[in-house]
Structure 1
Amino acid sequence: MPAPSRFARQKAEARGRLAELAAAWLLRLKGYRILAERFQAKGGEIDIVARKGGVLVFVEVKLRRDLETARLAVTDGNQRRIRSAADAWLARHERRADVPLRYDIAAVSPRGLRHIKDAFR
């Protein structure tokens, strides 16, 4: 299979950014405070870091054709990279290190958006 063209990559990147924007707004509407978006660390990236009440939430946003496929797109490897990036975020924000943590998924499709709490550990 040939590598995607530059245009195709740019288009996919733009769709991904829109999905992340929609997920961040959904979280805000649900009462979450967005602390960071697109946080990058050596071990990986976190799409959204949010807080609600006393819980710090690391959210992976996945855009696919349907919500179930989006949920299933967060593989074990993705989870390891997200946890690694979360550790890096916590190391840079020591005052939050004692807060309970949760890993969520924001599944996005052309037909909807679903926030899946405590999707993995």
Structure 2
Amino acid sequence: MTRQIAEQSGRSGEVRASLWLRAKGWQILDRRVKTPVGEIDLVAKRGKLIAFVEVKWRKRREDLDHAIDEFRLGRVAAAVEAVAHRYAEGGEDIRIDVILLAPGAFPRHIANAWQP
């Protein structure tokens, strides 16, 4: 049961993150992209930039500082590598972003979060 609640909270966070990105001028190209090596929560585009976005939702804003780490970002990067060609067909730049969300906290958007 706890896993289902966590899954539901995560999906709710993704919806909130997509609405926030759209308000900032991003177009949402895809959601929950599954690859053999992992999942990408959101794929967004603004101008000539494609952002592959990892969304993290926590119950408490204090937990946001520990919501993402190098291991998790590495998994997202591997998933991006598997599918980036599908989204960046016109020579767009790509990057991996993170959006951190918690009740009562303004969304924290970390642009270009993965730099190997």
TM-score range, shorter chain: 0.7 to 0.9
Aligned to 1:108: 101
Q: Which runs of 5+ in 2 are unaligned?
A: none
TM-score of the two chains, using structure 1 as the length reference: 0.84
Matched, 1:12 2:6: yes
- Higher radius of gyration, 1 or 2: 1
Whole-Å separation in 1 of the counterparts to 2:63 and 2:112: 17
Q: Encode CA deviations 1:9-40: one digit per residue, 9 max, x unaligned.
A: 11111111110100000000000010111101
Aligned to 2:33: 39
Partners of 1:56 and 1:101 within 8 A in 2? yes
TM-score of the two chains, using structure 2 as the length reference: 0.87
Secondary structure of 1:61's partner? Answer: strand
State which drifts further: 68-77 or 31-40: 68-77
Matched, 1:90 2:84: yes
Give percent identity, aligned residues only. 37
Aligned to 2:21: 27
CA RMSD of aligned residues (A): 1.6
Where does structure 1 differ by over 4 angstroms across 4 or more consecutive aligned residues?
A: none
TM superposition shift of 1:72:
3.2
Whole-Å separation in 1 of the counterparts to 2:101 and 2:38: 21
TM superposition shift of 1:71:
4.5
The aligned length equals 113
Aligned to 1:55: 49
Matched, 1:69 2:63: yes
